[in-house]
Structure formats: C-alpha cells, structure tokens
Amino acid sequence: MKIAFAATEAVPYAKTGGLADVAGSLPKELEKFGCEVKLFIPKYSSIDEAEHKIHYNWDIGEMPIRVNGMIRSVHIHQSILPDSNVEVNFVDCPHYFHRGSIYTNDKDEDERFILFSKAVIETLQRMKWAPDVIHCNDWQTGLLPLFIKDNYSWDKLFDKTATLFTIHNIGYQGRFTKSVLLSAEIRSELFYPGGPVEHNGSVSFMKAGIVFADILNTVSNKYSHEILKPDLGAGLDGLLRERKPDLFGILNGVDYTIWNPETDKYIPYHYSKDDLSGKIKNKKYLLEHFQMPFDENVPLIGIISRMVAQKGFDIFEEALGDLMNLNAQWIILGSGDEHYEELFRLLSLDIPQKVSSYIGYSNELAHLIEAGADMFLLPSRYEPCGLNQIYSLKYGTVPIVKKTGGLADTVQDWDEWNHYGHDTGTGFSFEEHSAQALYSSVLRAVNYFGDKSVWNKIQQNGMMKDYSWKKSAEKYVELYRLAKSKRS
Ligand code: ADP
Ligand code: GLC
C-alpha cells in the first residue's frame, strides 16, 4: 500500500512534542508491513541539511503555490528516514518556514499550514504518485482532506486516494478568521453556522479534518471515547458522535531503538531489568549534574512536560505545599506558560537540595531523567496518549499518572491490581482531577519506595511491557484498508 504521511514535526528533524516521535517512528514500522511510505514535513530553518544528508530534488523543481493571493515558490528537498527506506520530503518555503520556532503566534500561522497541505498534494502530482491513503495529523493538516475532495478533485490521480485524519490532541484546533476562506481558496458555501468548516464563527482546520477525512482515529482507545463527551470534546463532541462509526483509537507505539536503557546513547550507564545497578548510577550522575545531594533511600521524582494546564500543573501547584513536605527530590524539565516556568524557577532557588528545574528543551536531559529518576509524574487533565509514561515503564521509572486517555490505557495501578490478587501493577494512578487525589498517589508511591521488594516488582512489571509499534502499526494498516474501501 502507498502511504503519504503528512506531519509538521518528525524525529530526528524537528520536535516540540509527541507528534514528532510518532511521525519519526510509525512510518518505519509501516514499511515492515509492506507499505511504501513517503513522509512530508516542512523544511524549517532549524533542520541541518548536512547532518541529515538532505538534498534538493531537481526533478520536481519549482512549484508555484498560491496562498492568500500571493504566489509562493516552493521546492522539495529529500532524505531517507534513518534505519529505513522511508523517503522524507521537506517542503521548502523560506517565507513561511524560516521562523524562530516550529509553531508561532504570527498572524499568518494559518497560511503556513495551508501552504504545507497544498504543497504535499502538488508534490504528489509532480511525482505522479497516487497514494492509497494520505495520513494527516492534527489541525495543521486538517485542510488536506478537504483539498483532496474539493479543490483538487479535478485531478483523476487522486480518484482513489483516501484520507485518514489522526487527532493527537483535540484541544488544539487551528481556528482562524473567515479570511482563511480566501487565503486557502475554500468555497464560501462550506462556511455557515454549523457548516463543515465553521466553528463558533471561525474557520476550524480541525473540524475540516474531522468532516472530510474518510477515517478518523485518536492515539489511544480511551481518548477516542472521551472526546465524544462535552467534557473533553472541546466543542467538537457532537460532530465526533456523528462520525463515531468512522472513529477508532490506536495506541501510539514507541521506538525502542531510541528509548531503551540497554542501548540509550544519551545515558552514561546502561542497564536492564535483570541488572538495575546502572540505574542508581544514573541517578547519582543526574543529581550531581544538578548539584543535589544523593541518597539511595530518598526517591527522585522526574517531570518532563510542556508546562501547560493540560498537563495538570494546576493541581500540582495546588498540592505543592504537601508535595514539598514529602521526603523526596524533584527534577523538572519543560517549558511553556510563564507562570509555571516561574514557579519552578523560584522553587529551585528556594529549596535547591530538593528541587531542580531546567526550563527549556533538552532531548539529552529527557533521556537522563528517564534513566535516573525513580518515579515519573504526569497528572494530565487529559492525555490523548502520552509517551513519557511509556518510556518510564521501560526505564524502570515508576509512573504516577491520572487515569485519563493513554495514561489510563498504559499504566496499571499497583494497589488496584494487587487488591484483586494480581501483582501486575506497573505504577500509581488517580481518578479525580484534584490536588488531593494527586497528592495521595504520590504519597502511596513514596511509601512503597521504602519497600524494596514491592518496588522492584512494580519496576519489573513495567519493564516487561512491550509498547513497540508492531501491534499498532498493524492496526493502522487495517485502517488504511478501511479508508481505501470508502474510495473505491
Ligand atoms: P505532548 O506531545 O502532548 O507534549 P507526549 O508525552 O506525547 O506529550 O510527548 C512529549 C515528547 O516530548 C516526549 O518525547 C518528551 O520526552 C518530549 N519533551 C517534552 N518536553 C520536553 C523538553 N522540555 N525537553 C525535551 N523533551 C521534551
Ligand atoms: C499529542 C498529545 C499526546 C500524544 C502525542 C502523540 O501531543 O498531547 O498525548 O502522545 O500527541 O500522539
């Protein structure tokens, strides 16, 4: 099967969050199931051509693409995704993609991804390559299914091309003013209250994706049900209920060639479930790095996260007093809302023996925290999948999570499972989004940490879990077939 995979970030080229991990690993696995995959991402100025062996494609040449009435000159550069045959196509348009960050608050943010979506389609035309499925991801590629069915429907090349739209996070919808109709050349008949591209008076890229894609999916099973309700549907739950027969949940896999304590290239000491001695050395190394005291018996709790309300920093802040009274140390990596960044900065200054934070982005440190911490906290208000708790399981770093979305699908509470006589629990979780519930879970974890045999069992249970892409990629292939059947 031929798959065009369109995403706005992908490891190892550009990353702000989990979408990059998915776009950089799922295509590789799809290949193993006989798919021919072409990956498309924008060519941001931060992507190093030499490092990634990226070269210009002369056959495609210059593509003039009109956005907001202006013709932009677009070019394609190519490379191969490491350890695979996946062709990576970098959409080059310096006007839109040479900015200080991958996503911006610039007033032409809509135009940037209109151009990207059109460029994917026009590149396929120039290649004369008709994919069976164009796999779109999140709002940035939400207009692509509409373009295929409307703007480019004249092109017979795409007569049998289906679209799959993966919702990684319904909370980010790409809503812009009505002017998008003109800049993207969307027929104005599609915009009316409740219409296919309209949401509360604005044009919604996410809504367009949900309306026009042949098949939809989310990145965990639980989240596919949660978004059908007003609480987590972000205003699109009604529409999603209408499309329920076409909506599926497929849990993200992870790339164990990158995230594995036995081979991780960023950590000083490798270890495995049969010999955890390297883990404690990593803990020592990590604490030394932050100039914090090391004590084997004091648990180190790690947080790696975008610092936004979605990730549960509201209840963390509310529980702060109690949490800081626990006999535990904390290392926090992240950036985002100024309020939370400042909170952690101050906390690290106040109680440096107990708390350290790194405000910013560091892939290397993310690996080191996974390896060196004893526990990992992710108290998200909602979490479509979440990857760090899955990495944590593999690293023997016991996750403490809220029972929502992918967190609920991947972490089994020790007490709950033990209660039924199954000592299969892999972490700690709580149901209610409250400071009290969060605190109780952390307290339980800290208490169990003192009981080495229980703790070791929890670690072992987690380290044995296999969340590699194999099963999930197979499910994607099934969805591609289903999508395809809708277009034949
Ligand atoms: P989301 O995509 O919602 O941010 P995920 O858990 O799916 O959440 O993915 C987050 C990814 O980004 C993980 O691979 C995590 O290690 C990484 N990450 C998040 N914040 C940082 C940071 N400050 N520095 C390095 N990596 C980070
Ligand atoms: C989104 C979600 C996260 C998910 C990631 C990759 O960023 O917030 O839960 O893991 O996409 O699918």
- Over the stretch 390-449, which tens digit does the pLDDT of each residue have? 999 999 999 999 999 999 999 999 999 998 888 999 999 999 999 999 999 999 999 999
Phi-psi region of 135 (alpha: psi -120 to 50; beta: other; left: phi over 0): beta
CB neighbours of residue 159 within 10 Å: 10
pTM above 0.95, yes or no: yes
The answer, yes or no, to whether any atom of ligand 1 lies below 6 A from the CB of 362, is yes
CA distance linking residue 235 with residue 121, whole number of Å: 29
Contact 63, 74 (CB under 8 A): yes
Contact 206, 142 (CB under 8 A): yes
Ligand 1 atom with the shortest distance to the CA of 378: 6
Residue 319 structure tokens: 């529980």
The per-residue b/e assignment along 128-148, b for 16 or more CB within 10 angstroms, e otherwise, is eebbbbbbbbbbbbbbbbbbb
CATH superfamily of 2-253+470-485: Glycogen Phosphorylase B; (3.40.50.2000)
Q: How confident is the model at residue 488 (pLDDT cuts 50, 70, 90)?
A: confident
* C-alpha 219 – ligand 2 centre gap (Å): 7
Contact 47, 94 (CB under 8 A): no
CA distance linking residue 401 with residue 398, whole number of Å: 10
Task: Please report which ligand is nearest the Cα atom of 7.
Answer: 2
Place of tokens 């210009």: 56
CA distance linking residue 168 with residue 176, whole number of Å: 19
CA distance linking residue 465 with residue 264, whole number of Å: 18
Report the relative pairing of strands 70-80 and 55-56 from DSSP bridges. Answer: antiparallel
The answer, yes or no, to whether any atom of ligand 2 lies below 6 A from the CB of 381, is no
Burial of 398 (0-12, 13-18, 19+ CB in 10 A): buried
For the residues 165-179, what does the mean pLDDT come to?
98
The answer, yes or no, to whether any atom of ligand 1 lies below 6 A from the CB of 220, is no
CA distance linking residue 440 with residue 357, whole number of Å: 23
The answer, yes or no, to whether any atom of ligand 2 lies below 6 A from the CB of 219, is yes
Q: What is the CATH number assigned to the segment(s) 277-466?
A: 3.40.50.2000
Place of tokens 């479930």: 273
Q: Are domains 2-253+470-485 and 277-466 of this chain identical in fold?
A: yes
Place of tokens 């180190």: 300
Provide the 3-class DSSP secondary structure of residue 242. helix
For the residues 332-350, what does the mean pLDDT come to?
98
For the residues 229-246, what does the mean pLDDT come to?
98
Our mutation pick for probing the ligand 1 site, out of 19, 266, 303, 304, counting the most ligand atoms within 8 A of Cβ, is: 304
Q: What is the percentage of the chain residues whose pLDDT exceeds 70?
A: 100
CB neighbours of residue 425 within 10 Å: 24
- In tens, the pLDDT along 194-233 reads 999 999 999 999 999 999 999 999 999 999 999 999 999 9
CA distance linking residue 243 with residue 378, whole number of Å: 30
The predicted structure's pLDDT at residue 419: 87
Among residues 310, 305, 321, the alpha carbon closest in space to that of 391 is found at: 305
Burial of 268 (0-12, 13-18, 19+ CB in 10 A): middle
* Sign of the four-CA dihedral 90, 95, 96, 99: positive
Strand partners, 334: 305, 359
* Sign of the four-CA dihedral 237, 239, 245, 250: negative
Contact 409, 335 (CB under 8 A): no
φ, ψ for residue 237, nearest 5 deg: -65, -35
The domains of the chain are located at 2-253+470-485, 277-466
- In tens, the pLDDT along 101-142 reads 999 999 999 999 999 999 999 999 999 999 999 999 999 999
The answer, yes or no, to whether any atom of ligand 1 lies below 6 A from the CB of 387, is yes
CB neighbours of residue 334 within 10 Å: 22
* Sign of the four-CA dihedral 441, 409, 244, 21: positive
CA distance linking residue 409 with residue 459, whole number of Å: 18
Query: What is the distance, to the nearest Å, from the Cα of residue 84 to the centroid of all Cα atoms in its chain?
Result: 21
CA distance linking residue 111 with residue 136, whole number of Å: 17
The per-residue b/e assignment along 301-314, b for 16 or more CB within 10 angstroms, e otherwise, is bbbbbbbbebbbbb
Residue 417 structure tokens: 């499972």
The answer, yes or no, to whether any atom of ligand 2 lies below 6 A from the CB of 386, is yes
* Sign of the four-CA dihedral 234, 239, 240, 241: positive
CA distance linking residue 355 with residue 185, whole number of Å: 52
Ligand 1 atom with the shortest distance to the CA of 333: 23
Query: What is the distance, to the nearest Å, from the Cα of residue 413 to the centroid of all Cα atoms in its chain?
Result: 23
* Sign of the four-CA dihedral 226, 231, 233, 234: negative
Provide the 3-class DSSP secondary structure of residue 247. strand
Strand partners, 243: none
For the residues 6-23, what does the mean pLDDT come to?
98
For the residues 442-461, what does the mean pLDDT come to?
98
* C-alpha 12 – ligand 1 centre gap (Å): 14
Strand order in the sheet with 202-204: 175-176, 202-204, 198-199
